[in-house]
Amino acid sequence: MYQESKQIKISPIYMGTKTKYRSKDVWKEINQKKRMFIHGETKVIYFIDTDAFEKSIEHANAFRDIRQFCEGNDYDLVWFCHDVEEVFLGRQIPDDLKVQAAGTYKNKGEIEKMSPEKLSSKIIRTNTSNLLCVLDKYLDRK
């Protein structure tokens, strides 16, 4: 969906679980990446699933805490309601099938068929994300 740019370097850091969003290991890795790119601006974007935040006070509180953490550190937050598979595939996928489903999705070029409206939501609704709202701040669309 976006043009490639030699001026932009994207470096993912995998948390394993969103509960590690402020762990020492994640902070250490973020700071290492920042030091590697001293000749430009660094932006940190967290990507998380909201899970069933509207049904679980625990999930709602976790999402609120992550949102506040990102705001307090001037990080962007991309959310997927309820999870990334539900947004892109329209359904939840068992954990043991997620890698396979993602590979099939990518290989079939399904991203090209994805509705930009589903990925540009300002409010959290089932099967939506704010992904494009955040990435549009930094990347140029094709």
> Is residue 41 scored above 90 in pLDDT?
no
pLDDT at 38: 79
Under a CB-based contact definition with an 8 Å cutoff, are residues 134 and 77 in contact?
Answer: yes
Q: Give the pLDDT confidence of 91-134 residue by residue, as tens digits.
A: 999 989 988 998 899 899 888 889 999 999 999 999 999 999 99
Q: How many CB atoms lie within 10 A of CB 130?
A: 19
Note the pTM of the prediction, 2 decimals: 0.90
pLDDT at 7: 84
Whether the bond between 82 and the residue before it is cis, its omega within 30 degrees of 0, is yes
Cα–Cα dist 34/46, whole Å? 15
Under a CB-based contact definition with an 8 Å cutoff, are residues 3 and 139 in contact?
Answer: yes
Q: Which helix (H) or strand (E) holds 45?
A: strand 45-49
Boundaries of every domain in the chain: 18-30+40-135
